[in-house]
Structure 1
Amino acid sequence: MKFVTERTERAAVGTIYQVFVELDSHLAQRDPEFRYDVEAGLARLKNSIARLEARRPGRGSDELGSPAYTSVSTDQTSALTSWLAGSHGSQIHRYLQALNVAGLRITSANSPEFAVRIADGIRGERWRLSWLPDRALSLAQAISAMVLDEILIAHELDSATMLAVMGELAADLSMPLTQALSQLASIKKWRQSHAATGLSTSTPSAAGNARRSVEHEAPDSIRELHPPCVPAQMRPSPMAT
């Protein structure tokens, strides 16, 4: 992956700024009512460059609250950069520090919850989440779900802003916040009950020690760790005998 240094960034900004201006002019000629926000576009670009620079080897990730990255692909780096530059705000950046994002797995230093990559499809990667095992998610959705769990571990109960951010993260998963919280509470209660009775509550690392492909083992390993996540009212009735 090619990183942009301060010198090349300064040289590129003027050129890119001119490109944005020309783009604005070109689109305005086709649609007189259209105006491209050059300053906003340049600001977003510089923000992305800064985040890529912060992840350069030898640079700490704590400045921007970035997660640790291990063997991630170019597409994954692009998706993560877009997620970091999204609309959730700086409030969540510190929660990212506990995450370790690898090519096939996302884990947390604070929580047993995890995500695994199960396949690569036409629309990109598909991931499964430990507390939503019956849904295929994008990488961005998996990150949102992991961050939501991190916030619940150490969040500000009286913060209306943080509550709104949690609602946005749940919306990334196409579900109301109340449903996401209920799902997480159910999983954590299940883990606690198994721990109390001495039954296995395997951590994410226990599911991937075998030298098999994560894509093949992920669905089964997740279901072994967690009960079916289907609301009672949605479960099929027993067949009449």
Structure 2
Amino acid sequence: MAIFRTGRTIGSDRTPERAVLGDDGRWRLTWLPELPLTRDQAVAGLRLDEILSDPTLVDSRVAIAEAATCADRIGIIVEQAVIRLWKRTLTSLALCAVAMTRMGLKRAG
């Protein structure tokens, strides 16, 4: 995991999601924007995303326990995070399909 911070953004090298510092001094995750967070909570939210996005961790009890701890730090349960991140993935895929169609590209398969 490599979490990085630039001015008003916290990101990860393993996920496209970010945390952005708002004008109110609170951080907001791109996948959970309605929840204002501290910097430590924002990092926990990114780590949670990293864990849930890594298919090699699906059978790791240690990773699942860490995911639960990260979710608890930001005030949600793991299942909520899974649903939120899955919906963002589906939205991104749909937007890519629309863009490809508009550019005249065909879908593979």
TM-score band by shorter chain is: 0.7 to 0.9
Q: Please, which of 53, 61, 77 is the counterpart of residue 160 of structure 1?
A: 61
Deviation track 1:42-98 (CA, whole Å, cap 9, x = no partner) reads xxxxxxxxxxxxxxxxxxxxxxxxxxxxxxxxxxxxxxxxxxxxxxxxxxxxx2x2x
Confirm or deny that 1:115 pairs with 2:15. Answer: no
Aligned residues of 1:126 and 1:138 also touching (Cα < 8 A): yes
With normalisation by structure 1, the TM-score equals 0.39
Deviation track 1:10-64 (CA, whole Å, cap 9, x = no partner) reads xxxxxxxxxxxxxxxxxxxxxxxxxxxxxxxxxxxxxxxxxxxxxxxxxxxxxxx
Q: Please, which of 81, 88, 103 is the counterpart of residue 187 of structure 1?
A: 88
Alignment partner, residue 65 of structure 1 = none
Counterpart residue type for residue 9 of structure 2: R
Aligned Cα root-mean-square deviation (Å): 1.6
Aligned residues of 1:131 and 1:184 also touching (Cα < 8 A): yes
CA distance in 2, matches of 1:152, 1:195: 22
Counterpart residue type for residue 109 of structure 1: D
Structure 1: 4+ residue segments shifted above 6 A: none
The percent identity for this pair of structures is 31
- Residues matched between the structures, number: 99
With CA pairs under 8 Å and 6+ residues apart, which has the higher RCO, 1 or 2? 2
SS of the residue 2:4 aligns to: strand
Q: CA deviation at 1:181?
A: 1.0
- Return the index of the structure with the highest Cα Rg: 1
- Return closer, same or farther for 1:110/1:159 CA change in 2, 3 Å cut-off: closer
Alignment partner, residue 104 of structure 2 = none
Q: CA deviation at 1:112?
A: 1.6
Aligned residues of 1:119 and 1:127 also touching (Cα < 8 A): no
Counterpart residue type for residue 22 of structure 2: I
CA distance in 2, matches of 1:108, 1:197: 27
- Structure number having the greater strand percentage: 2
Structure 1 spans left out of the alignment, 5+ residues: 1-94, 200-241
Q: CA deviation at 1:188?
A: 1.1
CA distance in 2, matches of 1:141, 1:128: 9
CA distance in 2, matches of 1:180, 1:156: 16
